[in-house]
Amino acid sequence: MERIEHRVCFGGWQNVYSHRSHAVDGAMRLAVYLPPQADTQKVPVLYWLSGLTCTEQNFITKAGAQRYAAEHGMAIVACDTSPRGGNVADDSTYDLGQGAGFYVDATVAPWSRHYRMYDYVAHELPALIEKNFPVTNRRAISGHSMGGHGALTIALKNPGRYCSVSAFAPIVAPSRVPWGERALSAYLGRDRELWRAYDATELVQTANEKIPLLIDQGDADEFLQTQLRPELLVTAAEAVGHPVRLRMRHGYDHSYYFIASFIGEHIAYHAKELRNAR
């Protein structure tokens, strides 16, 4: 791992690294915030997954999360949203290709060579972090929009791996909205049965672990009715008795102003669950 940024922040350190990823067969960038408590002890980790067009920079520069992570003694890891580079398949639109990995393992060429973001986040990244940093194996996961989709599906697909999960304005049913239909058909092919493995509304129906789902959603979000549709997840979860809490936030949109307003509550929620984990 090569450290390319190193800044003191609320008594801890905000670092950015580049490393070679086996999962995506190329270089990846990731941000790691270590709170001041990490100087003397191992700390739990919150993994953050960002949305379409984002890199590791959006969250660390706009969300204001470091203050709360320092208060609660929590590391935060924020990865990029896709593989990058001149040899990596791409598309001219913002919602497919580089910056739009959708946290799936692609099976269709040309995407299948590099676009294995599910494997990267669920397996390679925690192993890398726990090997190289003073952290425990107590993990939480959260994300925004496409990253909210990633956080929910990865938590639901990996029982026992995460102590808690939350999301801001997640794409809960990618099989039934334009963003998801375009990405999943490109990365996985036209067989919609294969899409079910990356759709939170489908996964919640057969989840082996009923990990509570915490979701914040702005009611002024321009994508609420067309791309996000959180009510679909609430209906699916309630049908099988899976705990879900949807908090509609009046006047808030899809931006990082929304995330910054409530990230402190999310970090406090994860800190509590991480402390109570056995």
> What's the order of all strands across the beta sheet hosting 26-34?
2-9, 12-21, 26-34, 75-79, 43-49, 135-144, 164-168, 213-218, 244-249
Q: 83-105 burial string, b = 16+ CB within 10 Å, else e?
A: bbeeebbbeeeebbbbbbbbbbb
**In the block, residue with structure tokens 């800190």:** 271
> Using CA of residue 25, residue 26, residue 27, residue 29, what is the dihedral sign?
negative
Residue 6 maps to which CATH number?
A: 3.40.50.1820
**Spacing of C-alpha 42 from chain mean position:** 22
Angle, alpha carbons 83-89-94 (nearest 5°): 75
pTM above 0.85, yes or no: yes
In the block, which residue shows the tokens 């990405």?
A: 183
Q: Tens digit of pLDDT per residue, the chain (278 long)?
A: 999 999 999 999 999 999 999 999 999 999 999 999 999 999 999 999 999 999 999 999 999 999 999 999 999 999 999 999 999 999 999 999 999 999 999 999 999 999 999 999 999 999 999 999 999 999 999 999 999 999 999 999 999 999 999 999 999 999 999 999 999 999 999 999 999 999 999 999 999 999 999 999 999 999 999 999 999 999 999 999 999 999 999 999 999 999 999 999 999 999 999 998 76
Tell whether the torsion through CA atoms of 252, 256, 259 and 261 is positive or negative.
negative
Domain count, the chain: 1
> Are 152 and 165 a contacting pair, CB within 8 Å?
yes
C-alpha to C-alpha distance for 236 and 44, rounded to whole angstroms: 31
Q: What is the residue range of 146's domain? A: 2-276
Q: For residue 98, which of 32, 29, 47 has the smallest C-alpha distance?
A: 29
pLDDT at 278: 62
Produce one character per residue of 46-58: b if its CB has 16 or more CB atoms within 10 Å, e if not: bbbbbbbebbbeb
**What pLDDT score does 277 carry?**
79
Residue type, 227: Q
**Phi/psi of residue 91, nearest 5 degrees:** -140, 155
Q: Which residues are catalytic?
A: 145, 221, 254
